[in-house]
Amino acid sequence: MEVVKDPAEMQRKAEGWRREGKVIAFVPTMGYFHEGHLSLMREGRRRGDVLVVSIFVNPTQFGPQEDFERYPRDLQRDLRMAEEVGVDVVFAPEAGAMYPPGFQTYVEVKDLQEHLCGLFRPGHFRGVATVVAKLFNIVKPHVALFGKKDYQQLLIIEQMVRDLNMDVQIVGLPTLREPDGLAASSRNAYLSPEERKAALALSRSLKRAEELFSNGERRTERILGEVRSILEADPLLQVEYVELCDPRTLEGLRGEVGKGALLALAARVGTTRLIDNTILGEVDSAEDNAQGQDPQG
Ligand code: AMP
Question: Is the Cβ atom of 186 under 6 angstroms away from ligand 1?
Answer: yes
Q: Are 139 and 200 contained in the same domain?
A: no
DSSP string, 1-49: -EEE--HHHHHHHHHHHHHTTPPEEEEEE-SS--HHHHHHHHHHHHH-S
290 has pLDDT over 60? no
- Residues with a catalytic annotation lie at 37
Question: Is the Cβ atom of 38 under 6 angstroms away from ligand 1?
Answer: no
Question: Is the Cβ atom of 286 under 6 angstroms away from ligand 1?
Answer: no
pTM, two decimals, is 0.95
Residue 297 lies in a domain: no
Residue 295 or 216, more confident: 216
Q: Which atom of ligand 1 is nearest to the CA of 146?
A: 10
Tens digits of residue pLDDT in 149-162: 999 999 999 999 99
Q: Which atom of ligand 1 is nearest to the CA of 176?
A: 20
Q: Are 165 and 130 contained in the same domain?
A: yes
Q: In what order do the strands lie in the sheet with 260-269?
A: 237-245, 260-269, 272-281
Q: Give distance in angstroms: CA of 102 to centre of ligand 1.
A: 30
Please state the domain count of the chain: 2
Q: Are 190 and 163 contained in the same domain?
A: no
Mean pLDDT estimate for the chain: 95
pLDDT band at residue 208, thresholds of 50, 70 and 90?
very high
291 has pLDDT over 60? no
Question: Is the Cβ atom of 144 under 6 angstroms away from ligand 1?
Answer: no
Mean pLDDT calculated for residue range 12-28:
98
Q: Report whether 198 contacts 271 (CB < 8 A).
A: no
Report the pLDDT value the prediction gives residue 259, as an integer from 0 to 100. Answer: 86
Q: Give distance in angstroms: CA of 31 to centre of ligand 1.
A: 10
Task: Write out the residue range of the structural domain in which residue 41 sits.
Answer: 2-173
Q: Are 239 and 127 contained in the same domain?
A: no
Q: How far apart are CA 127 and CA 146, in angstroms?
A: 16
Q: Are 28 and 105 contained in the same domain?
A: yes
Q: Which atom of ligand 1 is nearest to the CA of 153?
A: 12
52 has pLDDT over 80? yes
Q: How far apart are CA 271 and CA 290, in angstroms?
A: 32
Q: Are 199 and 144 contained in the same domain?
A: no
pLDDT band at residue 294, thresholds of 50, 70 and 90?
very low
Query: Which residue, 173, 203, 221, sits at the end of a domain?
Result: 173
Q: Report whether 18 contacts 141 (CB < 8 A).
A: no
Probe residue for ligand 1, chosen from 26, 27, 29 as the CB with the greatest number of ligand atoms within 8 Å: 29
CATH number at residue 194: 3.30.1300.10
Q: Give distance in angstroms: CA of 272 to centre of ligand 1.
A: 16
Element (H, E) at 285: none
pLDDT band at residue 284, thresholds of 50, 70 and 90?
low
Probe residue for ligand 1, chosen from 66, 150, 186, 274 as the CB with the greatest number of ligand atoms within 8 Å: 150
Tens digits of residue pLDDT in 170-204: 999 999 999 999 999 999 999 999 999 999 999 99
Tens digits of residue pLDDT in 109-135: 999 999 999 999 999 999 999 999 999
Q: Are 33 and 169 contained in the same domain?
A: yes
Residue 153 lies in a domain: yes
Residue 223 lies in a domain: yes
CATH number at residue 14: 3.40.50.620
Residue 64 lies in a domain: yes
SS3 101: coil
How many Cα atoms occupy the beta-carbon half-sphere of 258 within 13 Å? 8
Report the pLDDT value the prediction gives residue 285, as an integer from 0 to 100. Answer: 52
Q: Are 163 and 227 contained in the same domain?
A: no
Residue 242 or 282, more confident: 242
Q: Give distance in angstroms: CA of 199 to centre of ligand 1.
A: 17
Residue 112 CB contacts under 8 Å (≥ 6 apart), including other chains: 118, 125, 152, 155, 156, 159, 249, 250
Tens digits of residue pLDDT in 53-103: 999 999 999 999 999 999 999 999 999 999 999 999 999 999 999 999 999
Question: Is the Cβ atom of 36 under 6 angstroms away from ligand 1?
Answer: yes
287 has pLDDT over 70? no
Question: Is the Cβ atom of 43 under 6 angstroms away from ligand 1?
Answer: no
Question: Is the Cβ atom of 157 under 6 angstroms away from ligand 1?
Answer: no
Residue 291 lies in a domain: no
Residue 20 lies in a domain: yes
